[in-house]
Amino acid sequence: MPKVLTDEQLEQWERTGAVWPIDLLSEDEAADYNLRFEGLESSMEGEAQDRFRMKAHLPFPWLWDLVTHERLADAMEDLLGPNLVCWGSSFFTKKARDPRFISWHQDSTYYGLEPPESITAWVAFTHASSEAGCMKIIPGSHKGAAILPHEETYDKNNLLSRGQTIRDIDPSTAVEMPLKPGQMSIHHNKTIHSSEPNNADWPRVGFAIHFADSSVRQAQFENPLAIHIRGEDTDGNWVEDPRPEYEMSPESIAAVDEYWNRYRNAMKAQT
């Protein structure tokens, strides 16, 4: 018996490779997360999505609480079963009237997971409407090849680090996944997805959280880190993430940077 998802949502997942919208946070909780996000960005140079890559929950107790949220874990258990790890998280943000976009891609391209089976919960802190450049998917694309060819375009307006792009997608087959603040979508890492610029007067702020069954391994480097959310990790595939003692402790900042460097080096080694 599923804990959060309905039979219709499980059917939507099987058919499309994504499920949305799912209520996770109340409107007030989402507004509180967004305030914390705004406070963080006003206290730093540049953008949080560039500074805290791959494991944004490591320096922030409030993000740690989000990635370990009980209802989120219940939804993940509905899709992945009882042995769950959260191995990463990232901000995906566009400012108000922001020309930046995210090109058609599959997350499996650079994750380095074996087998390439991971799913992402994308939590909206603000309204992710069509006008604001919500995510869209190509339904059913999760049933195709695990990794399609991606061209690295390095387009300056592409929020993906290498502008990695799957060419020749028919946009008429795309389906948008609009979300209200506090709702989430979930997508499979083979599902082809993208998003358009933000044409709205408000920032579009999202937080993506990556989960897998604990039997999935990180094949690109040794001793990968994750939070053991539920169940067992019988093969010992994942070392426990260090829980933040307080916001932006030097150790937690060093941990994010060290992990991102490991990823970056592994990606460089692929090319």
Ligand X SMILES: O=C(O)CCC(=O)C(=O)O
| Shortest CB 4 distance to ligand X, Å | 19
**Number of Cα atoms under 13 Å in the Cβ half of residue 226:** 28
Single out the residue of 41, 98, 107, 213 in contact with ligand X (rule: CB under 6 A).
107
Binding mask 39-78 for ligand X (x = CB under 6 A): ----------------------------------------
| Shortest CB 177 distance to ligand X, Å | 9
| Shortest CB 206 distance to ligand X, Å | 5
Binding mask 127-156 for ligand X (x = CB under 6 A): --------x---------------------
**Closest to ligand X by CB, 34 or 120:** 120
**Closest to ligand X by CB, 64 or 110:** 110
| Shortest CB 92 distance to ligand X, Å | 3
- How remote is the C-alpha of 163 from its chain's centroid? 17
Number of CB atoms found within 10 A of residue 232's CB: 11
Sheet holding 193-195, edge to edge: 102-105, 193-195, 135-137, 175-176
Hey, which residues does 94 pair with through a beta bridge? 204
- Spatial distance between the Cα atoms of 230 and 232, rounded to a whole number of angstroms: 7
By CB under 6 A, the residues from 113 to 132 that bind ligand X are 120, 122
Q: Which residue's structure tokens are 């599902």?
A: 191
Interface with ligand X: number of residues (CB under 6 A): 10
Phi, psi of 97 (to 5 degrees): 50, 55
By CB under 6 A, the residues from 204 to 263 that bind ligand X are 206, 208
| Residue 110 near ligand X by CB under 6 A | no
| Shortest CB 25 distance to ligand X, Å | 17
| Shortest CB 210 distance to ligand X, Å | 8
Taking only Cα atoms into account, the Rg of the chain, rounded to an integer number of angstroms, comes to 17
Chain positions contacting ligand X, by CB under 6 A: 92, 102, 107, 120, 122, 135, 193, 195, 206, 208
